[in-house]
Amino acid sequence: MRRDDRSDEAKAYRRLYNTRAWRDRRLALLSAEPMCRYCKALGRITAATVADHIVPHRGDRELFAGELQPLCQSCHSAVKQREERGGYHSAVDLDGYPIDPNHPNAASRTNIASEAK
């Protein structure tokens, strides 16, 4: 087994995730919304296994308490890779709108969707 000799950031992450409160939160999210949100936007039905922080928390306690979205492992990896490069997920849904809420054009989706109703 790996020794706990990684960075302070890694330790901070573990402290945030290794709590009863986080496990409860994650389970509550995945029970309420069991399908990957990005896959769903793309017309795919995939079980979500990851409770992803919409705003990357980078170990920050307040951001860690921020809003979550259910993702599958594959979408989560894609999102994290984008974030590490300082960008956002560029995929679009069936209507042609960005599926990443951090995408600069993501706001227009909400407007259009509510107009359509």
Residues that bind Zn ion (CB under 5 A): 36, 38-39, 46, 72, 75
Give the shortest CB-30-to-Zn ion separation in angstroms.
Answer: 13
Please choose, from the candidates 100, 70, 105, the residue with its C-alpha nearest in 3D space to the C-alpha of residue 83. Answer: 100
CB nearer Zn ion, residue 89 or residue 109: 89
DSSP 53: E
The torsion region of residue 43 among left (phi > 0), alpha (psi -120 to 50) and beta comes to left
By the 8 A CB rule, do 95 and 52 touch?
no
CB nearer Zn ion, residue 36 or residue 68: 36
CB nearer Zn ion, residue 16 or residue 78: 78
Give the shortest CB-14-to-Zn ion separation in angstroms.
Answer: 25
